[in-house]
Structure 1
Amino acid sequence: MTDLAPLTLTTPTEHPFAVFVRILGKGKRGARNLTREEAAEAMGMILDGAVEPAQLGAFLMLLRHKEESAEELAGFTDALRRRLQVPPLAVDIDWPSYAGKKRHLPWYLLAAKTLAANGLRIFMHGAGAHTAGRLYTEQLLGVLDIPLCRDWAAVQVAMDNRQPAFMPLADWAPAFQQMIDLRNILGLRSPIHSLARLLNPLGAKVGLQSIFHPGYQAVHRDASTLLGDNVIVIKGDGGEIEINPDTLSHLYGTTAHVAWDEEWPALAEQRHVKPASLDPAQLLAVWRGEQADSYGEKAVLATIALALRGLGQPREQAFANAERYWLNRTT
């Protein structure tokens, strides 16, 4: 009878990223938020490609389920900023555009063009047309003569020429774009959709953010305060940075680490009728002064005023300058 050799068992080494999945997913009593430092370490591993696909999916959906804290958002942003190599470009306004519009035309694009035509340096960024039935900034760049910039040199040229500079997220943060693209695999948007609004990669004087989900605007404002950024966060129309003139708007601001709140009343006495269809050519016609649109022009003026408010102008002055800027735009 032959003696069998004893079976040797080895315990596999735990993947270093597993600790972050465990922190978020350890059940109702055991789970907790990540600290800012933990969030930065976790996102750093993701950006460095040191995470397994299953871990990434679990991590993003656990964050989605519990909702991100201000400290987590700040930590994620820290990780990206440490890895970004960007030139020292002067920027007035960071303008993220990730939601797309489906009820009204994207009038915010005329606001951005007007501000740029009047000398303000605007950096816009977005992540493509990821949801059917919406109009996205990227789809309208050619119609409105807004430069599509594929590198930082092109961004500088556009801003020097008094145009908004739009650069796709994929060209400066490809790992973030890949996470956004997981939407059709995971079946839900990940927290990266909202995180992208915080990034302000060029350190603009003010960042404008639109967060559609109620109660989450203050979290983004708090995250920006932690990062030392000046911002205004609103619930913009359709999720884009655009004031809806038919409703009251609440502004969640932070300036020099001091948080503030402001409410702007509706600009229209009664709600406008939603258009039956969205025709991008109408944007160009209004820009050229060939056509009037009550809703659109009020939205443009209020959105220009929003940007000027973020740069420190009081509301009344911001609206007065918005009207002057609109009249002085180059058509």
Structure 2
Amino acid sequence: MKPYLEKISSKVDLTYEEAADAMQLIMSGESTAAQFGSFVTGLRMKGETVDEIAGMASVMRKMALSVNYDNDLLDTCGTGGDGLGTFNISTAAAFVSAGIGIKIAKHGNRAMSSHTGSADVLESLGININLTPDQVSECIKISNFGFMFAQGFHPAMKHAGPPRREIGIRTVFNILGPLTNPAGAQKQLIGVSDPKVGNIIAQSLKRLGSEAALIVHGNDGLDEITLSDFSQIWILKNGEISCEKFYPESLGVNIQSLSKLQVNNSEESAQMIESVLDGIQGPSRDIVLLNSAAAIFISGHSDNFQDAFDKAKHSIDSGLAIKTLNLVREYSQKLND
């Protein structure tokens, strides 16, 4: 690891192969906690490159437990680290998308630097998050939604988990999580808290062979499509990457403050998700609809955002979204028996 630390500390980029080798050392436990901390902090200070991210992601993918599911899969997730304390918007959007028949393979973890991670809020919703690969596959088949708890599907990450929690800031691992879906989801909606990371993630996914991805960043710093401002979006489709601005008003949604979307813990986040899926009106519904529209669009189930937005509204208003949540809750708990 020392040669790589020397390069990074000198602001020299690693090659794809060097980054992959460094990741192998981390995941095999051959690097110390101090070396790990220096490595990820140094990368952040230098700025992570496409080669570094793709090289590290390739090793994580190889060492992960895999979910075999022969169908189109979509993941909705974010890098976290925006510090805005909102409820788990991409998790809510996953249920809305699943409600209209999109197969969701959601990959997530507990909170590292926020109030609530996707694993935390799903537990608070009464969902069993500790499923085996076969059980996740079965859950997707039954309900259109399956959750892969990162800690369970990346056992080699046990060496990185404790020092990562101690560091407590955004690192390359916030970026790697969305790139290492154990079910190999080829379509993704990814939120980023740092706009400099958006294009890098799009380029990394292109190098890793992703079919389609929509990367989003709110101009207010939110790692979702936001309500309070425009959002920057990067679209990866057919091997090409485009970048544009998205305005809530384009779908008839008024600009609103994020204050009513903030929560203190996973229980509050779960309550907000259920209220949205139950059809309660308000800013929480609006932001879920915007992000669900993005997910539905990039999944290929709609050709444009307006049609995707209408389908998201139908998923909630018809009761399909809350039905999906209840089915996932019931079926995942049965797997405990």
Structure 1 length-normalised TM: 0.82
Percent of aligned pairs with the same residue?
22
C-alpha distance in 2, partners of 1:187/1:109?
A: 22
Tell me: CA distance 1:108–1:329, structure 2 relative to 1, closer, same or farther (3 Å): farther
The superposition leaves residues 265-313 of structure 1 with CA deviations (integer Å, 9 ceiling, x where unpaired) of 1234342461396334243233223xx3321111111111101221233
1:124 corresponds to: 106
Are 1:324 and 2:314 an aligned pair? yes
Kept in 2, the 8 Å contact 1:114–1:329? The answer is no
8 A Cα contact 1:122 1:163, kept in partner: yes
Task: Pick the aligned partner of 1:93 from 54, 74, 93.
Answer: 74
Q: 1:97 to 1:164 in 2, by over 3 A?
A: farther
**Contact 1:93–1:206 (Cα < 8 Å) also in 2:** yes
Question: How far apart are the structure 2 equivalents of 1:237 and 1:244?
Answer: 8
Higher relative contact order (CA 8 A, sep 6+): 2
Could you say which structure has the higher helix fraction? 2
2:171 corresponds to 1:190: yes
* One-letter amino acid of the counterpart of residue 120, structure 1: I
Partner of 1:24: 8
1:38 aligns with 2:18: yes
Q: How does 1:64-213 map to 2 (within 5 A)?
A: 64-89=44-69, 90-97=71-78, 99=80, 102-131=84-113, 134-176=115-157, 178-186=159-167, 188-213=169-194
Instruction: Name the counterpart of 2:231.
Output: 249
Partner of 1:43, secondary structure, is helix
User: Is residue 108–residue 299 contact of structure 1 (8 Å, CA) maintained in 2?
Assistant: no
CA distance in 1, matches of 2:137, 2:205: 25
- Count of aligned residue pairs for this structure pair: 308
Aligned CA distance change for structure 1 residues 128 and 239 (closer, same or farther; 3 Å): farther
Which deviations, in whole Å up to 9, do the C-alpha atoms of 1:170-223 show, x marking residues without a partner? 101133354243245346443212221221332213122111012221111111
Q: Structure 1 residue 262 and structure 2 residue 244: aligned?
A: yes
Q: How far off is 1:252 after superposition?
A: 0.5
Cα RMSD of the aligned pairs, angstroms, is: 2.7
The answer to whether the 8 A contact 2:33-2:163 is kept is: no
Equivalent-residue separation in structure 2 for 1:98 and 1:167 (angstroms): 16
Contact 1:148–1:165 (CA under 8 A) maintained in structure 2: no
CA 1:139–1:201 in structure 2 vs 1: closer, same or farther (change >3 Å)? closer
In structure 2, C-alpha distance between the alignment counterparts of 1:250 and 1:263, rounded to whole Å: 5
Residue 296 of structure 1: which of 281, 284, 307 is its match? Answer: 284
Larger gyration radius, structure 1 or structure 2: 1
Which of 15, 34, 43 does residue 63 from structure 1 map onto?
43
Q: Which runs of 5+ in 2 are unaligned?
A: 323-337
Q: CA deviation at 1:234?
A: 0.9
CA-CA distance at 1:123 after TM superposition: 1.5
State the match for 1:11 in structure 2.
Answer: none
User: 1:115 Cα shift?
Assistant: 1.4
Aligned residue identity for 1:318: A
User: Counterpart of 2:216 in structure 1: which amino acid?
Assistant: I
Residues of 1 paired with 2:179 and 2:257: CA distance? 31
Given residue 203 of structure 2, which amino acid in structure 1 is its aligned partner? D
Q: Deviations over 1:12-64 (max 9, x none)?
A: xxxxx322222212x3xxx4111112211221222222323333222222112
Q: Indicate if the aligned counterparts of 1:146 and 1:163 stay in contact, CA closer than 8 A.
A: no
> What secondary structure sits across from 2:233 in the alignment?
strand
Cα distance change on mapping 1:317 and 1:76 into 2, 3 Å: same
More divergent stretch after superposition (261-270 vs 276-285): 276-285
Q: Is the 8 A contact 2:78 2:192 kept in 1?
A: no
Label 1:255 to 1:247 Cα distance change in 2 as closer, same or farther (>3 A): same
Gaps of 5+ in 1: 1-16
Match of 2:274 in 1: 284
Helix, strand or coil: the match of 1:182?
helix
Rate the CA distance shift 1:23–1:170 in 2: closer, same or farther, 3 A. Answer: same
**1:269 partner amino acid:** N
Distance 1:241 1:148 in 2: 23
What residue number does 1:50 align with?
30
- TM-score by length of structure 2 reads 0.81
- Tell me which residue corresponds to 1:4: none
- Cα distance in 1 between the residues matched to 2:77 and 2:246: 22
